[in-house]
Structure 1
Amino acid sequence: MIEQKVTINLKDEFSKDIGTLTVSSIDPIREKESSHKISDSFVLKNIDLVDEVDNITPIQYYNKESSQFSHLMLLEETEYQILFESDDANASYDVLYSLIKINESHFKRFRFNLGDNNKFKLAGTLNFRSYVGKSFLDVKKDNIKSIQIPIEVRSKKIDYFNQYSAMIADLSQHALSLIFEVNSPLYQEFELANEEKLTYYEDFMFLEYLFRQDNLPTIFEYLSKNMHSQLINHDETVPISLANNLNSSSINNIVSKPNQLFKTDSSIKMSDKLNGYLPYDIHQIKHEESIDTPENQFFKYFLEMLQNFVEKMLVNSKKGYIQDKLNFYKEEISYYLSAKFFNHISTLDYVPFNSQVLQKKEGYRDIFQYFLMLEFSFRLSWDDLNNKFKGFEKKLSELYEYWCYFEILKVLNDLSITKINFEDVFEVNKTNWAINVIKGKRSSKKFKLNIRGQDVKIELFYNLTFSDKSDYKSYSLAFKPDYTLLISTEVKQHFIHFDAKYRSELEIIDFYEKIGEKTNSEIEKEIDKRDSLEEKEYVFKDADIYKMHTYKDSILFSSGSYVLYPGTKSKYFMEEDLIIPSVGAFSLTPGNTDIEEDNLTKFIKKVIETLLFQDGLITYEWVSSNY
């Protein structure tokens, strides 16, 4: 084990010294010492300069020039020692004021006197818990701010560079799906905000997501070959010898303009009707297929908006990775807009929100969603998440919990004969465009399945409380699993529980604290307080399974309890050869959901089949044939 240390000489905007800030941590696997001098005021000890960061090393220096990711990389759920020193002992200091403003629990000052009256010294510990994202190291001296040192707090449990952005995109898409639900309270009831965005950080992450090969590049190629068109009619004047589409309107036009006729000896039948006269020219209706539709105008508008947005970001970017990527995106968009078919598409007059093509047709629906995701991102705010979004930082454990909920909803919706509407998932405040995910007893979502010829009803709850005082009973302590399935057959009801475990547990002593004679609201607070302790270094360990046993054994009618966590392995512990009763853990990781969703789907089907067998509704052979 070797101590890593970064020493920064902080200066104000006029290059005057404010003091020296030292950040240190222990690298448990490092064996060799090293030193790097980034500048006269920025020195690294035992910190590697890397082009690819890991999710193990406490401090790394990201060597690529980039304003998307900060150079100084720290790690969530990791303790750092902080020391600030200044030669001016008579000044007042506000150390790490940006971090304290964001979350007071991040930085804990030491209370003892460091014993130097000629200098100002302040020491403490810094731990970001499960917050990830950008933040800053800074100090105020007599209310004069130092230049901020940007840092990036990366995740231990998911790929911060790829999976984190995939989760942000998924959550945005789930929220914005409200717009596409015909029965949604928000359907067609919104207008675009004109607020200036405070940061391009999430937007750049979205651009990274947008330009993945499976997204915009593929959609553009598809639409360029499958453009929506419509048949339009227009009048044209042609010589009579070229006329091929006459109708009553053409005849009326001839009769109304006798001065355009000439005498002919032609045997054309029409001349007989006009006493031997024919017109020099004739008006006819021409039917033409046109791609100049509102939907294609919107397609063109989106690309032009994207182009302007990238150019705006380029103005504010520094040389290096982000500028290279933005230039690449700019070239891609220019290539798209150079397509010849855009020459036949006019400027957009209005966004056709009511268009069924834009809402439902393949390709166009994707462009519409990309537009909304880029335009709104998290400006379409989730009230529950607003409290977790502090500055640039995101409390990843909360995001992961919401993300897992939508994954379970998706799996059940795919299995179900009846589908849920998004209005049943969210509470909507139309006044300020805020949405909440409904929790507790009111969160009930009902699904109907047919398994092995048997009708099965499933009710999904989010944060349902079980206690001796609630409608849903626990015979010991009060519990609130993240997600609960109530599976009802013709014979019996069974509970299956899931907990999202991005975070992990502390010592189990706190887990079994006595609640005593308390009201329901006090019990809710006790559960939240106890569960909030579960934020320490994550390892998939016995304590996670212990908790699943407490759910299964203490909550009446429970048959199984399972951890959902971002990992690579899934395992469950069961009696003999039947999957129920059991406890276990399932890998569910953003950006890697196709296989994992399929595994979760198969598991839920196996659980239902086993319950049907135990209730005497199907034979054992039907269950065992699935293993």
Structure 2
Amino acid sequence: MLATETLEFTDAHGACVARLRLFALDAAAKSADPPSLIRLDPAVARVQGEEAVQLIEGARYEYEFEDGRVRLDAADGEPGRLIEASRLAGRAHSGFLSPGLNTGRLALVARDEAGVSLGTAAVEVRSRKIGYRDDYRLMLEDITERCVDLLLELRAPTALRAAPDPGYTPRTIAQRFAFLKALLGSSSFQNALHRIASHPHQRWEPEETSFDTRRGFRPDARGLRQLARASRRVPLPVSHLLAAAIPSLPERISLYRNVQTEDTPENRFVKFALQGFSGFLAMMLQRLDTTGANDARLHHELAVLIGQLDGALNADVFRGVSPPDMLPLGSPVLQRKEGYREVYQAWLKFDMAARLVWQGGDDVYGAGQRDIATLYEYWVFFKLLDIVTGVFQLNRPAAAELMEETADGFGLKLKSGEQLGFEGITFAGARPLRARFSYNRSFTRNANRSAAGSWTERMRPDYTISLWPADFKADEAEAQELMVHVHFDAKYRIDSIEQLFGRDDAELDAATAVADLNEEKQEQKLGRYKRADLLKMHAYRDAIRRTQGAYVLYPGDVPQQWQGFHEILPGLGAFPIKPGNGDGVLTAFIQDVVTHTCDRATARERQSYHVYQVQEAPPPYAVLHKLPEKEIGSARRAAPLAETHVLIGWYKDKAHLEWVLKSGLYNFRMDIERGSLRLKPEVSGAQYLLLHSHKGATSPSLLRVSKEGPRVLSRDALKAKGYPGEPSRPFYLVYDVTPAEGFDGYEWDYRKWPDRLLNRASAEPQTITLDVLMAAAEGNLLVRVMG
């Protein structure tokens, strides 16, 4: 049986105007953990600061009004995002409600068939993957410590509870708008404006009036002085009683009387405050039009609120009120008189920052809240920032450095990309490292392999930690394969390892594993990818140059790591991180990454060096010969041609060549004179020997160095070996050689080598690599790539 609850909609007077039944589309909704539809005891709801009827994020509900003439609407946000009314004839009073990832207080409106609001109600949308009253609140409070504006979203359908925070000013338009919207929509503020209009503050003021002296008036001292001194006088008749004392009187005199006026400092202040509110909303409306944002609902809300304020300002009481020349903030009228007190307090709170609250109260208002997935992403950013600053012993940046305005200028968001590259040097090991922590950094497509970026298409991980030796600049480290990027993606929608990566192959038998793969293939044909997050981590690892690790951060409990080799990097995996559970596992991993990067003897360090060497000088030739694939006498693969060194030696005559081939020895001079051999690494480690002589002649076959490294033989020992002629030096460096297998049929022309020694210097020993040697092979199949 489906779980169901009834929601009552009330009008401004608290009377019930409609009833709506909610059905959880889950037979186990009541017994699920957490349950998807519950009703709290009203007392518990008040204590917790929550709505009594509670839904769960990500669930889907069916609704139906008892009265078929009533329609459901969302109080905020775009209704189509949450509410899907039935399209069946006569069923518009029913449909589906899907809160998605929006959590917090969800306000709903009941409307009649003409769209007129009948009443309102609200439900609480709880978080599914983290505890709503502990971990969820902890997450929001952690973000609020940095900046409450990061929680706010004007267009969000759900709201958090906020209250003015004295001593702080709001940083964004979103805060002021949330307060003003709640203020103008409250019946208490509307009643306050009505009270001012019907019982305005008045005061007595002296008013100057011009009186005809022929009319009767009550004289005062000033009037008597004007009778004696004023100009434009007329003579009194001789018969007048005063004619003997005052022969003439002025035609008119000015007298003052006390009259009541509404042009008071307090009324001027109220008009000033309402005009300030209206001007703020007009500025928002203008900015909305300027940015071209297609937001009809917000546009309509602004127009309605401006209309309310204009209606209040058109009241008779404000028509004769002049602009203020001072703000009477200490006035007892503003502080105590009904109506004025509410406007005064609203004006003060309008310039106060919002603070997050959980319980209700007179000052509490609703502010649109970002969806929980975005909030989780922000929270993970701050947790990673704390870990990075702790591990690398860096100073935490000020909150203002981490944020920027949203595109419409109404709110704040975290800076992203190169704008937020928090950087510093760490001495966590003997090797100083420079570290950079980035949020939403874009790695754009870049054909230059020595530059940062992706070699396929643009990639943008949520968070990136980049490490490189402090002696190098970032671009130098990228070019020389010294940069180490480790990426993280926050995935709130995931709550188990199996959701992320599928079932562990090690726990499946062969038949089940094959069945799983077949099922995955079928799902992919329908556009559904069960292991999409694992594939995305592989994409980061493969596409973004110098990436050594890519990991998912999710609100679960089980970590998972795969290592590409036997070291911590390269690797893929996932780490659980959620409020209340600590971050010890993730912190330990990042510390291990730093230790690994400081270690100069890792396989990854060696591999990156060879990658740099290979990419620095691309091979000029494509070698298409059939050559030995394995080391002689071993199952190990042969070394690359460019890393296989060949000694080029001189034989002076035919007898010398025959002795070399017969004895399996070749001697180099050992002294400081010209023609002697310097023991460079490529000389002592050479694997082949090719002999050449006058006019480019070469030995009939390539010789292989049959023993590791040369040995030193004396003149006498060399003669004992049958050396032809008389050795001229007391000691020689001698290699053991034998004909090389796999090179039969090739001949080499010394004169074709581009870096050959010329003239007399051609008799001196030198080394080349095997790929260059094969370029000079007669009848070869080489294809020149460069030049």
State the TM-score, normalized to the length of structure 2. Answer: 0.40
Larger Rg: 2
Larger RCO (alpha carbons 8 Å, 6+ apart): 1
State the TM-score, normalized to the length of structure 1. Answer: 0.50
